[in-house]
Structure 1
Amino acid sequence: MASAGLREELECSICLSIYTDPVTLRCGHNFCRGCIHRVLDTQEGSGGYVCPECRKKFQERPALQRNITLCNIVENFLSTKPGQKPVISCSQCFHALVPAVKSCLHCEVSLCENHLKVHKKSPEHVLCDPTTSLEDRKCSIHKDKLLEYYCNQDAACVCVSCYVIGEHVGHKMVSLPEASESRKNKLRNVLQEVMTEREKMEKRVQSLEELRKSAQEKTDGETEKVTVVFKDLNRCLEDLEKKVLSNINRQAEQVSLHYDDVLRQLEIKKEELSRKMCHIEELCNMTDPLTVLQESHTGDLCGMEDRHKQLHDGGDLDVASISHTLHTGLSDIMSGVTGGVYIQPADISLDVNTADNDLHVSNDRKTASWANRILKRPKRPERFQDWPQVLSSQSFSSGQHYWEVDIGGSGHCAVGMCYPSIDRRGDWSRIGENKKSWVLNREDDLYSVIYDGEDIWLPEFSSVRVRIYLDYEAGQISFYALCDPIRHLHTFTVTFTEPLHAVFRVWRGRIKISGGRPEM
């Protein structure tokens, strides 16, 4: 048990074998030098390097430090490990341990290079690679006989006595070298098949690595693009905030100045009134009637209301102007974001001239439903004849577009895209059953995507609203379930050769094209 635990500690986490020339990363994890070299090579050009064990990131390719202590532990473990091939020494070298180069099956000894030169070379002295299992080379029945033949019938190695007088008499025999060569030829064929299969796996791994790299590059690109959008958005919002606050402050200063002027005039009026009050009180206290009558008719005591009637309390913030500036600025920012980066939903409408006579199209051309009766529409070459299907009026030959469809009203329906050259009658006109259409299909609660008659079944999802996304230049048609969060269902990757139309099939019930909004 202790040996098994030690072996686990001495296994490389990449190749799952005992370490070969172990090296250490800065994070402290150990790997075979060759294994970690290959891993780091695959990470070239990805913007950094990652430890396969702890996922620690390194900006530059990490230096590999040979772990001398671990090397010694591995060597000691391999030298004492049960089943490890022992070093066979020469049986004739009594005073030193000299490695043997051959073993003699006849003499049952192992020989070094020097003793092999003087060893007898008669036919009965059969030489083989160094071995300690000399008894395994002899027949278990005829103890003194060497195994020299191979019985094809019993798949067993036998001696000459077994061949001539033993239980293998009459069986088809070949010599051990001949049988070995025959087995090697079969193994070479198997090896070739394994090598071919491995090459396929390597190409597959390379392809997947390229796809992963492409996906990572796309992710990095989208991340950078979104980051730029939000930086610009924050900058625009900050500029708009400064503009609106500046407008408010400017108006506030104007209002404050106005009130300062009014208050100053009112203070002057107060002083004037106070002075007149004193003068009037003096007149009222006079005893000379003539003086009272003469001075009470002076201009200072008349027309005061007319003189001050223009003073008022006017002046306030222009809230309507502030609101207009704010909303106009926000609208301009939103227009810049949606128009400059994100995709506006396509305005999809149904082409009645392509609709099968079992299919009813609403007046706004947004809803297709099962008619429950055969409609008598004019015959047209573009009209579907055998399946309740309809195309969109719009076609797309470039750019990125998306639209959304509510399929909750129909248990049997299909939505997707097709070429305008699709057949309009016959079995091959059913969308998904040919090489000219790509659809998401619903049968009750079962969903699949179909192309050229091949179904790829999808896991269940709860939403009955789906989004179809087209990137014509990238050759991609993608389907999404509008759950929370949005769930990617499948992407077809194609090299498009024609414009594309949205296409719909409804069997019972109805489907409806719904308006979408750019995802913010």
Structure 2
Amino acid sequence: MASADLRQELDCSICLNIYTDPVTLRCGHNFCRVCIDRVLDTQEGSGVYSCPECRSECQDRPVLEKNRKLCNIAEHVRSIPEEETGVRCSYCVHSPVPALKTCIKCEASLCDIHWRTHNKSAEHVLIDPTTSLEKRLCSVHKEILKYFCTEDAACICVSCCLIGEHRGHQMESLDEASEKKKEKLRNVLQKLTTKREETENRVQSLQERRREGQKKAAGVTETVTALFRDIRRQMEDLEKSILSEISRQEESVSLSVSVIIQQLEIKKDELSRKMRHIQELCNMSDPVTVLQEPDTGDLCATEELCNMTDPVTVFQKPDTGDLCDTEDRERHDDQVHGVGDLDVGLISGKLHTLSDIITGINVCFYVQNPTDILLDVNTAHNNILISGDGKTASRSDINENRPDAQERFHYYSQVLSTMRFSSGQHYWEVEVRESELWMVGMCYPSIDRKGDQSVIGGNNKSWCLCRGYNNRYAVIHDREAIQLPDNIPYDRVRIYLDYEAGQLSFYSLCDPIRHLHTVTTTFTEPLHAALNVYKLWIKVS
């Protein structure tokens, strides 16, 4: 056990507290690192540095060496409980020992030996060891606090009761008042404990939901990745197929054109040869040679006809042969036109496969097909007509006078689905374009059927997407409305339920599909699809 003298040796002479990170100067004196750094900073620029204790000087700023042994001792003493270092027996002068009690009357701390002497006298009030004796004395009369004034909620002495400002007030003993306060504190503690447990349960629930969300997100990520991987594969295959078809058609067209070009080149060479021969004849000066040359046929006849001025003679001349042969020209024209072009229809047909790929993507990863919803006539209001296929609910002014079933709605023109959902993911769609005012959503089977609180969305047992007057749209739960934009079509809507995740989502099936709102909660009962028809009809699918 550390003595008082030892503890004083562990006090820094600058801050007067136990050393913190002690360092040693060359003169051998120890200080807290922060304390001596501040002192040396103030000596900066004076040209000399000195020790705060012995005043030994040096020209250069001294290097601070950490005193590891002293640091360990200081840390050990600092960790000793306060009753072993702070509160000492006031009567053990030469070697104070830890106090076991404090005497308020004597304002002294007592060890085991001195406490036994004081304990024999009823005048002495002993409490647990403390150095704050002033808190146990009246600040006005400097007497021991013995009572508690319930009117002023203050601890008071005897003089306060007799002659002080608390005279005539309701009093209690300190022990009695303390017990009452402790009882209140125990009640508060119990409530706080309950709230803490509830908070812990909520934290655990949220952590579990977070883990489920992360797990579900990982599953969705894997599904989406696989989906797009398959789409890319199909797109690549389609691209290769279409490009191959284009290359095949281009090669076929090129080959056909090449054949015709080759034939025309031969024809062009033949014509060039004839032209050169005619040019040679025209350049000859010997008439005999010219006249003896075999007839050039079509070319000469053509030129002769071209030089005639008598139209009758021209029309009476027989056909001039090859160059003027219309059938020959048409044959070549047919060859050129017969080559054709790329088969755009075939390519377009292959591109339709792209549309099939996109159409084949199912937006609802968990739900392959919409849930088959049927309307339960046993829940329908008597002014609601249900179609024979159980899909359409129509508002009628004629009372159907159905049996007064317990599950039937009596106050609002509403109807529920026959199916209830207590797990899994589901979606269903509603056509509402023919109804001016409507509500579609989901509710618990325990929803009221008769009172004015039975409208879906008007209580804590239902949620709905609603179209009200003036084309205003909102998602409503427990009469709390979340307004939605009115500049998108609401002709057909989708309701998507993820029961385990506690999510109910609403979509507008416009182009593209628009997400309207998602409700997140914890479902405590199974859910039914619910419809409210004010005018005309709505249809589920």
The alignment's TM-score, normalised by the length of structure 1, stands at: 0.59
SS of the residue corresponding to residue 256 of structure 1 reads helix
Instruction: State yes or no: 1:325 paired with 2:350.
Output: yes
SS of the residue corresponding to residue 122 of structure 1 reads coil
Q: Distance in 2 between matches of 1:338 and 1:158?
A: 79
Q: Distance in 1 between matches of 2:105 and 2:503?
A: 75
Instruction: State yes or no: 1:402 paired with 2:428.
Output: yes
Match of 2:288 in 1: 287
Match of 2:126 in 1: 127
CA contact (8 A) 1:442 1:448 kept: no
- Out of 146-155 and 118-127, give the one that drifted further: 146-155
Aligned ranges 1:165-314 → 2 under 5 Å: 176-177=174-175, 179-279=177-277, 287=288, 292=293, 310-311=331-332, 312-313=335-336, 314=339
CA contact (8 A) 1:350 1:365 kept: yes
SS of the residue corresponding to residue 203 of structure 1 reads helix
Match of 1:504 in 2: 531
Task: Note the C-alpha offset of 1:195.
Answer: 1.3
Instruction: State yes or no: 1:490 paired with 2:513.
Output: no
Q: Distance in 2 between matches of 1:192 and 1:364?
A: 58
Instruction: Determine which of 358, 362, 365 is the counterpart of 1:334.
Output: 358
Distance 1:217 1:457, change over 3 A: farther
Distance 1:147 1:228, change over 3 A: same
CA contact (8 A) 2:242 2:350 kept: yes
CA contact (8 A) 1:431 1:438 kept: no
Distance 1:243 1:276, change over 3 A: same
CA contact (8 A) 1:369 1:506 kept: yes
CA contact (8 A) 2:371 2:426 kept: no
Provide Cα deviations, 1:334-363, integer angstroms capped at 9, x if missing partner: 133138848688598987978756457899
Instruction: State yes or no: 1:457 paired with 2:480.
Output: yes
Provide Cα deviations, 1:193-250, integer angstroms capped at 9, x if missing partner: 3212221222122223323343344344434433443343344333323332232222
Distance 1:192 1:262, change over 3 A: same
Task: Note the C-alpha offset of 1:268.
Answer: 1.6
CA contact (8 A) 1:351 1:390 kept: yes
CA contact (8 A) 2:373 2:417 kept: yes
Task: Note the C-alpha offset of 1:366.
Answer: 8.5
Distance 1:202 1:476, change over 3 A: closer
Task: Note the C-alpha offset of 1:110.
Answer: 2.7
Distance 1:395 1:216, change over 3 A: closer
Task: Note the C-alpha offset of 1:395.
Answer: 9.2
Q: Distance in 1 between matches of 2:144 and 2:290?
A: 169
Task: Note the C-alpha offset of 1:269.
Answer: 1.8
Q: Distance in 1 between matches of 2:211 and 2:432?
A: 35
SS of the residue corresponding to residue 224 of structure 2 reads helix
Distance 1:105 1:417, change over 3 A: closer
CA contact (8 A) 1:259 1:315 kept: no
SS of the residue corresponding to residue 533 of structure 2 reads strand
CA contact (8 A) 2:421 2:526 kept: no
Match of 1:415 in 2: 440
Instruction: Determine which of 329, 338, 341 is the counterpart of 1:316.
Output: 341
Match of 1:107 in 2: 106
Q: Distance in 2 between matches of 1:181 and 1:378?
A: 69
CA contact (8 A) 1:92 1:115 kept: no
Task: Note the C-alpha offset of 1:253.
Answer: 2.2
Distance 1:302 1:278, change over 3 A: farther
Distance 1:254 1:167, change over 3 A: closer
SS of the residue corresponding to residue 288 of structure 2 reads coil
Task: Note the C-alpha offset of 1:186.
Answer: 3.9
Task: Note the C-alpha offset of 1:330.
Answer: 0.6
CA contact (8 A) 1:448 1:456 kept: no
Letter in 2 for 1:506: V
SS of the residue corresponding to residue 145 of structure 2 reads coil
Provide Cα deviations, 1:289-309, integer angstroms capped at 9, x if missing partner: 995568979xxx987868897
CA contact (8 A) 1:345 1:403 kept: no
Task: Note the C-alpha offset of 1:409.
Answer: 5.3
Aligned ranges 1:91-106 → 2 under 5 Å: 91-92=90-91, 100-106=99-105
Q: Distance in 2 between matches of 1:474 and 1:141?
A: 67
Aligned ranges 1:319-468 → 2 under 5 Å: 319-327=344-352, 329-338=353-362, 341=365, 346=370, 358-359=383-384, 370-371=395-396, 373-374=397-398, 386=410, 387-389=412-414, 400-406=426-432, 410-411=436-437, 413-417=438-442, 432=456, 439-440=464-465, 444=469, 447=474, 449=476, 455-463=478-486, 465=490, 467-468=493-494
Distance 1:196 1:408, change over 3 A: farther
CA contact (8 A) 1:403 1:467 kept: yes
Distance 1:429 1:131, change over 3 A: closer
Provide Cα deviations, 1:470-505, integer angstroms capped at 9, x if missing partner: 44774867242649962324256547769x5x4422
Q: Distance in 1 between matches of 2:356 and 2:216?
A: 29
Provide Cα deviations, 1:141-187, integer angstroms capped at 9, x if missing partner: 765x5334556687654556778999999998765445534543443
Aligned residues: 416
Percent of matched pairs sharing the same residue: 40
Aligned ranges 1:141-152 → 2 under 5 Å: 143=142, 146-149=144-147
Distance 1:415 1:258, change over 3 A: same
* Structure whose alpha-carbon radius of gyration is higher: 2
Distance 1:206 1:255, change over 3 A: same
SS of the residue corresponding to residue 480 of structure 1 reads strand
Letter in 1 for 2:359: S
Q: Distance in 2 between matches of 1:430 and 1:193?
A: 36
Instruction: In structure 1, list runs of 5 or more residues that go unmatched.
Output: 1-71, 80-85, 516-520
Q: Distance in 1 between matches of 2:238 and 2:255?
A: 26
Q: Distance in 2 between matches of 1:472 and 1:251?
A: 52
Provide Cα deviations, 1:120-159, integer angstroms capped at 9, x if missing partner: 443234332333443443456765x533455668765455
SS of the residue corresponding to residue 362 of structure 2 reads helix
Provide Cα deviations, 1:5-62, integer angstroms capped at 9, x if missing partner: xxxxxxxxxxxxxxxxxxxxxxxxxxxxxxxxxxxxxxxxxxxxxxxxxxxxxxxxxx
Distance 1:141 1:271, change over 3 A: closer
Distance 1:353 1:276, change over 3 A: farther
Q: Distance in 2 between matches of 1:117 and 1:402?
A: 83
CA contact (8 A) 2:148 2:156 kept: yes
Distance 1:363 1:462, change over 3 A: farther
